[in-house]
């Protein structure tokens, strides 16, 4: 079993999108009994809220429903519960690293490490237009394919897949 946690700033745009898109890819790969997925935010402003309507609409256009997700804040305990804690941008990553306990063995990094793309970060779409949400989805879809391949090759070898 591998546990993956996606992290952004507010947990209402990028990381719930990553949770929904990656979970869809996990199900399509038939790995839903081997991978657990969650998302959260570095900040606490939107705790308890559903994803931004623009993120919900953009995801639903690609057949993915994220309307049931609710925002929560990242905690130190997450670094003990999850194997992969993946941020959307470098600011997220800095905040994550500051919270990671010394006894955590989680892989803490950027989600786009797993995509074969020139971009390193998923840009914050909150203050922009709809095209920003489409770009977020393109980046997240590419990284999801890469992360599934990575987990198949390395992380899930002991699960005898």
Q: First CA to last CA across the chain, in angstroms? A: 11
* Sign of the Cα pseudo-torsion (106, 112, 115, 118, in order): negative
Q: Is 78 a catalytic residue?
A: no
Site for ligand 4NP in 99-128 (CB under 6 A): 124, 126
The yes or no reply on residue 11 touching ligand 4NP (CB under 6 A) is yes
Residue with the CB atom nearest ligand 4NP in the bound state: 10
- CA 41 to chain centroid, in Å, comes to 10
From the list 13, 14, 38, 40, the catalytic residue is: 14
The yes or no reply on residue 134 touching ligand 4NP (CB under 6 A) is no
Strands (E), the chain: 2-8, 35-41, 84-87, 107-110
> Nearest Cα to 120, choosing from 71, 86, 84, 79?
86
Kindly tell me which of 50 and 142 has the beta carbon lying closer to ligand 4NP: 50
Kindly tell me which of 29 and 99 has the beta carbon lying closer to ligand 4NP: 99
Question: Given strand 2-8, what is the order of strands in its sheet?
Answer: 35-41, 2-8, 84-87, 107-110
Stretch that binds ligand 4NP, among 11-19, 96-104, 112-120, 143-151 (CB under 6 A): 11-19
Site for ligand 4NP in 24-43 (CB under 6 A): none
Q: Name the residues annotated as catalytic.
A: 8, 14, 124
User: Which residues would be at the binding site for ligand 4NP (CB under 6 A)?
Assistant: 8-14, 45, 124, 126
């Amino acid at each position: 079993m591998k546990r993956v946690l996606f992290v952004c700033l507010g947990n209402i745009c990028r990381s719930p999108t990553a949770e929904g898109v990656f979970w869809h890819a996990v199900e399509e790969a038939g790995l839903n009994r081997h991978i657990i997925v969650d998302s959260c935010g570095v900040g606490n402003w939107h705790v308890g809220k559903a994803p931004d309507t623009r993120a919900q609409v953009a995801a639903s256009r690609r057949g993915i429903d994220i309307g049931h997700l609710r925002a929560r804040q990242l905690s130190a305990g997450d670094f003990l519960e999850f194997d992969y804690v993946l941020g959307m941008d470098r600011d997220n990553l800095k905040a994550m690293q500051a919270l990671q306990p010394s006894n955590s063995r989680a892989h803490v990094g950027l989600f786009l490490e797993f995509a074969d793309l020139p971009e390193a970060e998923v840009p914050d779409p909150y203050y922009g237009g709809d095209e920003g949400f489409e770009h977020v989805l393109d980046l997240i879809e590419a990284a999801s394919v890469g992360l599934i391949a990575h987990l198949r090759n390395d992380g899930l070898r002991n699960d005898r897949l």
